Amino acid sequence: QVIYLNGEYVSKEDAKISVFDHGFLYGDGIFEGIRIYGGNIFKCKEHLDRLYDSAKSIMLDIPLAYDEMEQALIETIRKNALRDGYIRLVVSRGPGNLGLDPKRCPKAWVIIIVEQLAIYPEEAYRDGLVSVSVSQRRNIPDALNPKIKSLNYLNNILVKIQANLAGVGEAIMLNSQGYVAEGSSDNIFIIKRGVVYTPPCYVGALEGITRATIIELCEKLGYSLKEEPFTLHDVYVADEVFFTGTAAEVIAVREVDGRTIGGGKAGPITTHLLGEFRKTVE
Ligand code: PDD
C-alpha cells in the first residue's frame, strides 16, 4: 500500500504524522470518503467541491489547487493498482504547538489513503439491516454545521458506540428537536405510499453525495421525493427505510427499535434504487 503524504508517496509504515498535528490534537481538519469503481473516481468533482467548501468555511488553506488534488488522487490510485476501492482524503491543519491557535500551524497536511472496501455482505443488501435509534443528538447548525465534513467525528463515534452496544451496523440519530437527522456515517431515507422522504440537511445531516445521487435517480425514475423533517414514528410506520453513504451505498433497513419495517426485507423501491445506483457507478 502506497500512501500520499504531503506530495510524497510513502509506504504504510512510513506514513506518519507529528504528535503536534492539530488534526490529531484537536480534530482540526477535514476529510472525504470517496469510491473508486472500475478505476474511476465516483463523483470526484462533488467530493472535491465539498472538501474545498469545508476548507473555506473553517479558513483552512489547502496547499494544492483543485486539479493538483485530482491528480494526486489519480496518481495514488495508479500506484496502488486499485480498480475498486475507497479513498480517504484528509486535510489537517498540520503541525503547530500545543495551543489550539491555527495561526501556529504554518502548513496544512494532505494525506490520501486508498484501500479495498467491503462493509456489508451482499445478503445485507437483500435482507436489510437491523437498526436502532440512539440517545446521542446530532450537532445542528448552531453548533458545528454538519455540512462541514470535519475531523471532529466524536458526535458520530458516540452513535457508533451505541450501535455497537445494540449489536447493529448503523443507528439513527435525532436532532435536539427530535427530528430524524442521519446515521453515524450515512444519510437516511424513508418511503411511504410510494413517496420517498429524506430529512433536509438543516435538520442536522451531512449533504451526502450518495444522498444527492439518489435524489437525482428518484427524479429520473419518476418517484416523488420530498425533503422534509420526520420523526421516529414516521420511520416505524414507513413501508421502506434505507441508508445511503459512500461506503454503504444504498442499504435497506428491515427493523428499527424492534418494529419490522414493511415486509421485513429490502423493499421494491429500495431494491430498484440500489440496482439503478449500481448501474450509474459501473
Ligand atoms: N460517511 N453522514 C455522515 C455523518 C457521513 O460521515 C457520511 C459519509 C454520510 C454520507 O455521505 P456521502 O454519501 O457523501 O458519503 C452522511 C463516510 C465517511 C463514508 O460513507 O465514506
Compute, in degrees rounded to 10, the torsion defined by CA atoms 41, 216, 202, 35. -20
The answer to whether 138 and 155 have CB atoms below 8 angstroms apart is yes
171-201 pLDDT, tens digit each? 999 999 999 999 999 999 999 999 999 999 9
Bridge-based pairing state of the strands 249-256 and 129-137:
parallel
Candidates 47, 35, 49; CA nearest to 87 is: 35
Q: Is the dihedral of CA 163, 164, 168, 169 positive or negative?
A: positive
**Catalytic residue IDs:** 149
> CATH number of the domain at 122-281, out of 1.20.1440.230, 3.20.10.10, 3.40.50.2000, 3.30.310.50?
3.20.10.10
Q: What is the DSSP pairing of strand 259-260 with strand 29-37?
A: unpaired
Ligand 1, CB within 6 Å, residue ranges: 33, 156, 182, 185-187, 206, 208-211, 244-247
Q: What is the ipTM of this complex?
A: 0.97
- Has residue 141 got a pLDDT over 70? no
Confidence at 142, pLDDT banded by 50, 70, 90: low
- Give the mean pLDDT of the chain: 96
CATH code for 2-115?
A: 3.30.470.10
Q: Where are the domains of the chain?
A: 2-115, 122-281
End-to-end CA distance of the chain: 24
CA of 73 to the centre of ligand 1 (A): 19
Name every residue whose Cβ is closer than 8 Å to that of residue 222 and which is 6 or more positions away in sequence.
Answer: none
Q: How many CB atoms lie within 10 A of CB 256?
A: 22
Question: Quick one: pLDDT at residue 192?
Answer: 98
Mutate to test the pocket of ligand 1, among 139, 140, 175, 206 (most ligand atoms within 8 A of CB): 206
Question: Residue 39 has which C-alpha cell?
Answer: 478505476
> In angstroms, what is the span from residue 98 Cα to ligand 1's centroid?
30
Per-residue cell: 215: 435524489
Residue 257 vs residues 31, 136, 252: alpha-carbon distances, Å: 31, 15, 15
Residue 219 clears pLDDT 70, i.e. is over it:
yes
